[in-house]
Structure 1
Amino acid sequence: MFTGNAQAAMDLYVAMLPDSRIMRVERYAQGEPGPVDTVKVAVFTLCGREFMCSDSPVKHDFTFTPSSSIFVEFSTEEELDRTFGILPDEGKVFMPLGNYGFSKRFGWLSDRFGVSWQLNHAV
């Protein structure tokens, strides 16, 4: 769950990844539990896979965790490098792009929203 920035996250993700788009967004209205115009529920695709997200109207003692990641396999090193260059801005790199034995080109990071990503070049 996001905390008021679900729309910004979706906008970044669909602009950055191929075969990605926002399919549906339902927003909180006046009198509902969330701040007006924040995302109640949204459906979007990343690399052809469907995801859902929302802005939580409740403050939690937790956020996203790197123990669960979105894994993206890239067909070219250029796509991987471009995406890895964008995502960690204001985030954190756990494993920089490199050869780790299980993959010749892999990186792991969390973005500015706290979402964890594992990015790999399919060889």
Structure 2
Amino acid sequence: MKTVNIYLNFEGTTEAAFNFYKSVFGGEFMGGIMRYKDFPPSEDMPPLSEAEKNLVGHVSLPLGKQILMGTDIVESLCNGHKTVMGNNVLLTLETDSIEETETLFGKLSEGGQPLMPPAETFWAEKFGSCTDKFGVHWQLNYTGSKAPEQM
């Protein structure tokens, strides 16, 4: 496996969430924000309301070598699938420094809920976890000198 990419489902808040993540991590959306109205016509696609057509069908934001992707779930397109926000997604970021861990934790937890403020653990020089203001759970980990020795 070369990379692990993360896909997040929202109920109408994808654009706000991804603009927030862009402000935290920087970068640009790959190909912009694609809305359902931008999808090519398909006989398999049920008719959508005007509101559903303006929802985010797909967005991608590079995070280093990985890509954070997301969509607004439309039940009629997903066989009645309903999004359950919160503990269904847990994202772990291995940071480059203690300072980066603390900075990202501060930005991600703003308006959300700090679960474990950044602190030293037995596995990391600095580890913290929080839930952001969109209900997504994040773990920030700087292993540093506590990285297991390579065999």
TM-score past 0.5 threshold: yes
Task: Please identify which structure carries the higher strand content.
Answer: 1
TM bin (shorter chain): 0.7 to 0.9
Task: Please identify which structure carries the higher helix content.
Answer: 2
2:64 and 2:73 mapped to 1: Cα distance?
25
1:101 and 1:113 mapped to 2: Cα distance?
30
Deviations 1:72-103 (A, max 9, x none): 12212222211111111222222211112111
> When the two structures are superposed, what TM-score results if normalisation uses the length of structure 2?
0.68
Aligned twin of 2:90: 69
Aligned twin of 2:82: 60
TM superposition outliers: structure 1 runs of 4+ over 6 Å = none
Q: In 2 relative to 1, CA 4–73 (structure 1 residues): closer, same or farther, beyond 3 Å?
A: same
> When the two structures are superposed, what TM-score results if normalisation uses the length of structure 1?
0.81
Gap regions ≥5 residues in structure 2: 1-8, 38-46, 76-80, 145-151
Rg comparison, structure with higher value: 2
Residues 95-114 of structure 1: matches in 2 within 5 Å? 95-114=116-135
Query: Structure 1 vs Structure 2: percent identity of aligned residues?
Result: 26
1:47 and 1:70 mapped to 2: Cα distance?
14
Residues 34-49 of structure 1: matches in 2 within 5 Å? 35-49=52-66
Deviation at 1:61, TM superposition (A): 6.6
| Aligned-CA RMSD value | 2.4
